[in-house]
Amino acid sequence: MILSYKWLRELTGAELGPRELADSLTRVGLNVEEVEDAGFGDHSMNADITTNRPDWLCHLGVAHEIAAIQKLQVRAPAISLEETGPAVDTLTSVAVLPGAEEACPRYTIRVIRGVKVGPSPDWVRERLLAIGQRPINNVVDVTNLVCFEMNQPLHAFDMRKLAGGRIILRMAGAGEKFNAITGEKCVLDPTMLVIADAEKAVALAGVKGGENTEVDDSTVDVLLESAWFQPGSVRRAARKTRMASESSYRFERGIDPGMTARASARAAQLILEFAGGELAADVIDTNPDLAVPHEASLRFARCDKLLGYAVDPKEIDEIFAGLGLETVSRTAEAITVRPPTFRQDLKREADLVEEVARLAGYDRIPETVTMPLMLSHVMPETRAGRIVRETLSALGYHECVTDSFVPADWCPPFAPGSRQYEVRNPVNAERPALRSSLAPSLLEVRRTNRLENDVRLFEIGRGYVKTEAGPDEPRRLAIVDDRGVEYARGAVEALLKALSVSGTVGIAESDLPGYLPGSGAALSLDGVPFARIGQVSPGEAARFDLDAAPAVAEVEMAVISSAPENERAYRPLPRFPGIRRDVSLSVPEAVKWARIEKTVRSAATLLDRLEFVSLYRGKGLEPGFKGMAFAMHLRAADRSLTDADANQVRDAVVAACLAVFPGSALR
């Protein structure tokens, strides 16, 4: 929210400079982040408005705050109307159709005939420019000016463009099309309230007006709308159509129901002043009694207890009077007040205590509480997450954080059998589902980085699935690796080693949905499934606009973080050196590293450690074959090995592999 310093001074008479005024507002909770020279002898103040204070979304609301701080009186604009035209109900009418009453509890209309549309006065144009608004013409500028002055969005219709010259409030028809005044086009549904004439929708209630009834240079007669729309209805329409506006921003947060008619009168007065014309007598108002004042009480002893220090009741009286709270009753022990209708947030005793704290000064609250510190227990999932991040980062993977909301058709291929949640009122209509798998989100990141080579990504996050027992939010790790399935599996094995996980890892080849047939595998730990690994299928790669299909692994964090750890035992350093022998084989494409590993371990004596080195596909290999390279680290406990010993083991391993895998050859 951008505020005009000059405007605030006119409303309060405050003598503080722009930065001093910004500091005083920040101290009471209205955080002013920036103050800039706006020109025209004015300053723009960029304020961060909290959701519980919609009254701060206008200059008059902030002026009440300044008046309370500086003990001043708000100089609200005086309103005086000359209603010289015929009765308004002889010129137009309002019909509220069934179903629209709840979405629009109050709707008012004034009619001004014979206006002359043109530029606004310089002071109006300068005021709008200071708060970041574009001047349009003297009628539209008035509606914007009053909106930012009184926090009441208004809309002006060209009466000649209204079919039948009347207004109908109704719910939109299924598939009804609407063209906004800003050029946007959208399709409406029956959950949205529209302002219509006898033939068509002319405004999406509380969001934007339509292009078919806008005020332009040819406008002569103006129908002025001022209404109170139900916040949820406006929020839903703005989100679904993706047409948020200054108007919807205010209606969504709840504006003052008592300002509807007053803002309409203020706008009518300014239009007559700037554009001339004749104002019809009276106003059409569907519910003039909507704003019902409420009362709240404060016990002085309770206030002192909550704040931690004593506040003189007379000081509380002054604070409440400065805020515009009307005293209903007052005793030595308590006070009951009636807040103005624009302070809908003051409902409970705690709300009144907060007002005392803000205006009396937060710096008066004593700091007497000590905070004992003690070492907390680290949860297994927290420890596992830290180790996973450190290990994968060391292996060259980049961590990602993606949105939990995804398109509805993304996850099912990677989470077969799981039922995902879809949100009824999504923030983004293109992403209505909560993800049940993290893999598609990482594939989208891979698509964003499709010009890069050798991309390695991982993410730790929650999936959201429906189960027979109710909602479940499993914490998962997803890995995407351009280099292939072998490297993704190697990363999972590195994690198990870093976590010192004990137990038997089982690998079962499986054709998993979303993965290339023959490339998928399901991993289990002591019989408990904990990971799925495979190469993305061409169809899924094409869905994410990927030229090459990367490998994907998805791991259940709960299983690996709660698994028993290997016991740490002392092992003396080896007395004798080891020897390394590298072997590179050309093997059929269908041969998996797991089978090669099993063959090597069964044939190699003196094997201390087996290390996968590389996978190669390309020039120099026959079609349907790939190159697999691995390193054998050999060691004897009682002697130093010779080259002859190492070569003998290597030859035995090569012979075993060539026998087990027909068509294989030594490279």
Instruction: Give the model confidence (pLDDT) of 627-641 as tens digits.
Output: 999 999 999 989 999
DSSP-assigned states of every residue in 326-370:
EEEEE-SSEEEEE--TT-TT--SHHHHHHHHHHHH-GGGS-----
Q: What is the mean pLDDT of residues 326-354?
A: 94
Does 411 score more than 80 pLDDT? no
Collapsing DSSP to helix, strand or coil, 50 comes out as: coil
State whether the Cα torsion 122-124-127-130 is positive or negative: negative
d(CA 347, CA 120): 41
Q: Could you name the CATH architecture of 296-362?
A: 2-Layer Sandwich (3.30)
- Residue 13 φ/ψ region, left for φ over 0, alpha for ψ in the -120 to 50 degree band, beta for the rest: left
Amino acid at position 473, single letter = E
Q: What is the mean pLDDT of residues 432-461?
A: 92
Place of tokens 């948020």: 244
pLDDT of residue 509: 78
The tokens describing 215, both together, are 């005020």
Nearest to 43 by CA among 69, 70, 7: 7
Answer yes or no: is pLDDT of 56 > 90.
yes
> Which CATH superfamily includes the segment(s) 380-562?
Bira Bifunctional Protein; Domain 2 (3.30.930.10)
- Alpha carbon distance 581, 5 (integer Å): 78
Q: Contact 422/465 with Cβ under 8 angstroms?
A: no
**Which pair of structure tokens corresponds to residue 446?**
């891979």
- From residue 506, give the alpha-carbon distance in Å to each of 314, 512, 528, 532, 558: 76, 16, 9, 12, 17
Q: CA-based Rg of the chain, rounded to a whole angstrom?
A: 36
Say if residue 570's pLDDT is above 90.
no
The predicted pLDDT at position 416 comes to: 66
Of 433, 432, 405, the C-alpha closest to 240 is 432
3 state SS of 53: coil
Q: How far apart are CA 73 and CA 168, in angstroms?
A: 41
Helix (H, G, I), strand (E, B) or coil at 612: strand
Task: For the beta carbon of residue 518, count every other beta carbon within 10 angstroms.
Answer: 13
Residues of the chain with CATH 3.50.40.10: 88-285
**Mean pLDDT of the 645-652 span:** 94
Contact 339, 322 (CB under 8 A): no
Q: Is the dihedral of CA 126, 128, 133, 135 positive or negative?
A: negative
Q: Which residues of 441-452 are buried (b: 16+ CB within 10 A; e: fewer)?
A: bbbbbbeeeeee
Give me the residue label for tokens 């929650």: 462
CA 440 → CA 162, 428, 554, distances in Å? 49, 17, 11
Q: How far apart are CA 664 and CA 587, in angstroms?
A: 5
**Full 3-state SS string of 234-245:** HHHHHHHHCCCC
| φ and ψ at residue 2, rounded to 5 degrees | -100, 125
For residue 417, the model assigns a pLDDT of 65
What is the model's pLDDT at position 369? 66
Type of residue at 58: C
- Count of CB atoms situated within 10 Å of the CB of 605: 11
Per-residue pLDDT at 517: 85
The Cα 240–Cα 178 span in angstroms is 13
* Residue spans in the chain of domains classed CATH 3.30.930.10: 380-562
Residue of 269, 8, 246 lying closest to 127 (CA atoms)? 8
> Which CATH class for the 2-70 domain?
alpha beta
According to DSSP, the residues that pair with 497 across neighbouring strands are: none
pLDDT digits (tens, 9 = 90+) for 516-568: 888 888 889 988 999 999 999 988 898 899 988 999 999 999 999 888 887 77
**CA-closest candidate to residue 119, choices 141, 93, 96, 149:** 141
Give 145-168 pLDDT, tens digit per residue: 999 999 999 999 999 999 999 999
Full-model pTM: 0.62
- Please count the other Cβ atoms lying within 10 Å of the Cβ belonging to residue 595: 15
* Strand 94-96 with 167-171, pairing: parallel
Most confident range (mean pLDDT) of 162-176, 372-386, 499-513 is 162-176
Q: Strand (E) positions, 213-317?
A: 222-228, 278-279, 284-285, 296-299
**Helix, strand, coil content of the chain in percent (nearest 5):** 35, 25, 40
DSSP per position, 420-485:
EPB-SS-SSTT--EE-S-SHHHHHHHHHHTTTSSS-EEEEEEE--EEETTEEE--EEEEEEETT-H
Mean pLDDT, the chain, rounded, equals: 91
125-139, 278-292, 517-531 — which is least confidently predicted? Answer: 517-531
Q: Is 219 in contact with 158 (CB distance < 8 Å)?
A: yes
Q: How many Å separate Cα 305 from the centre of its chain? A: 38
Outline where DSSP puts E strands in 40-141.
42-48, 94-96, 106-113
pLDDT attached to residue 467: 81
The pLDDT, as a whole number, for residue 132 is: 92
- 398 - beta bridge partners? 457
**CB of 210 closer than 8 Å to CB of 227:** no
Distances from the Cα of 231 to the Cα of 174, 182, 235, 256, 577, angstroms: 22, 22, 6, 12, 76
Residue type, 317: D
Q: For tokens 């420019």, what's the residue? A: 129
Which H or E run includes 302?
helix 300-307
Backbone angles phi, psi at 377, to 5 degrees: -75, 135
- Region of residue 183 (left: phi > 0; alpha: psi -120 to 50; beta: else): left
Pick the CATH number of 88-285 from 3.40.50.10140, 3.90.1150.10, 1.10.40.60, 3.50.40.10: 3.50.40.10
CATH of 579-666, one of 3.20.20.140, 3.30.70.380, 3.40.1190.20, 1.10.1380.10: 3.30.70.380
DSSP E strand stretches across 76-166: 94-96, 106-113, 154-158
DSSP per position, 485-527 = HHHHHHHHHHHHHHTTB-SPEEEEE---TTB-TTT-EEEEETT
What is the torsional sign of CA 118, 119, 121, 124?
A: positive
Q: Which of 580, 582, 587, 581 is nearest to 628 (CA)?
A: 587
Instruction: Place 144 in a pLDDT band, splitting at 50, 70 and 90.
Output: very high
Separation between Cα atoms, residue 553 and residue 483, nearest integer Å = 13
Number of neighbouring beta carbons within 10 Å of residue 223:
29
Where are the CATH 3.30.56.10 domain residues in the chain? 2-70, 296-362
Tens digits of residue pLDDT in 59-109? 999 999 999 999 999 999 999 999 999 999 999 999 999 999 999 999 999
Give me the residues paired with residue 509 across strands: 521
Report pLDDT for 380.
85
CATH 3.30.70.380 occupies which residues in the chain? 579-666
